[in-house]
Amino acid sequence: MSVAPSPTRLLWRRFLRHRLAEVSLVFIVLLLILSLAAPWIAQLRGIDPSMTDLHHRLEAPSAHYWLGTDDLGRDLFQRLLDGGRVSLLVGIAGAVLSAILGALIGVVSGYLGGRLDSVLMRLTDGVIALPLLPLLIVLAAIDPRKLGISLDTAQSETFALYRIVFIVALTGWTTVARLVRAETLSLKERDFARAARALGARPVRIMLRHILPNAMGSLVVATSMSIGGLILLESTLSFLGLGTQPPAASWGNMLTGAQELLQEAPSLAVWPGLLIFLTVIAFNFLGDGLQDALDPRSERR
């Protein structure tokens, strides 16, 4: 007598059928490991990625400088890893924060309904209607000192990073909110939700313990697919000089520094641009694979 496979094994089996998602997962994990281990890799190689050395500017790839150096003599490989840490952190943290905010707005709007639903959905429609890039530019250009933040804090790399995460999250929650609202409208009429109401469960408990867990599949897919878009937004802001500021590295500001050297050293623009492209595509394929894995109908297909 055969034993039925566990739900986790079924999910993993459906995910592995999506070959591009499988390759994308390996690429993302490898990129995360290398980016997080960048300080140790630099220490093992005996390289300081932030130290300028004009005697070795624009050098070709070699045994010491694996991908060559930039216009200030800094090791390009290590700068790419440091930039990957910033870009991935902004994308993942921004997507998670957007998912939390959008899920809360969506479940409250869908479950409580009425005038609150109308107000929250009109707010969502208003944010969607705003031109995204000009809005991000305006938010990024706000001087933190006018909000009561000290000069030292405003100029720190940590604050700049958290600021970018907050800015991209402010505009990325709308898709999740509409998706979770649609799921909530369906789930709140199911038998388990009616039974919870009949037993006297409070609305907050029903939303957090019964509605959101059952909408988690769609939420995970939407979050994973939004990471690529947020990485692209961060790269755009950094390219325009409103994101991560030098000497801290991100793929966007590396492109900014390379735009005047395209004829002399095209690799300075090719490598960060290629990593942005591959990372965004990988997260999109990963989202497709998760969507197939979390959909039971894919097993029959």
Helix 76-112 to helix 114-129 angle (10° resolution) is 150
Cα end-to-end span (Å), the chain: 25
What confidence category does residue 32 fall into, taking pLDDT thresholds of 50, 70 and 90?
very high
Read off the pTM. 0.82
The token duo for 151 is: 């000069």
The residue whose two tokens read 């107000």 is 119
Euclidean distance between CA atoms 126 and 173, whole angstroms: 12
Q: How many beta carbons lie within 10 A of that of residue 11, not counting itself?
A: 18
What's the pLDDT tens digit per position in 167-182?
Answer: 888 878 888 889 889 8
Euclidean distance between CA atoms 99 and 198, whole angstroms: 30
Residue spans per domain, the chain: 9-38+75-300
| SS3 (DSSP) at 82 | helix
What confidence category does residue 27 fall into, taking pLDDT thresholds of 50, 70 and 90?
very high
Task: Please give the helix or strand (H or E) that residue 279 lies within, else none.
Answer: helix 267-294
| SS3 (DSSP) at 4 | coil
93 or 218, higher pLDDT: 93
Predicted pLDDT at 4: 53
Predicted pLDDT at 2: 45
Buried b / exposed e over 96-123, threshold 16 CB at 10 Å, is: ebbbebbbbbbbbbbbeeeeebeebbee
Euclidean distance between CA atoms 279 and 61, whole angstroms: 23
Predicted pLDDT at 166: 83
Distance of CA 32 to the CA centre of its chain: 12
Is domain 9-38+75-300 given the CATH code 3.40.30.10 in the classification? Answer: no
Task: Tell me the mean pLDDT in the region 265-283.
Answer: 89
The token duo for 39 is: 């300080």
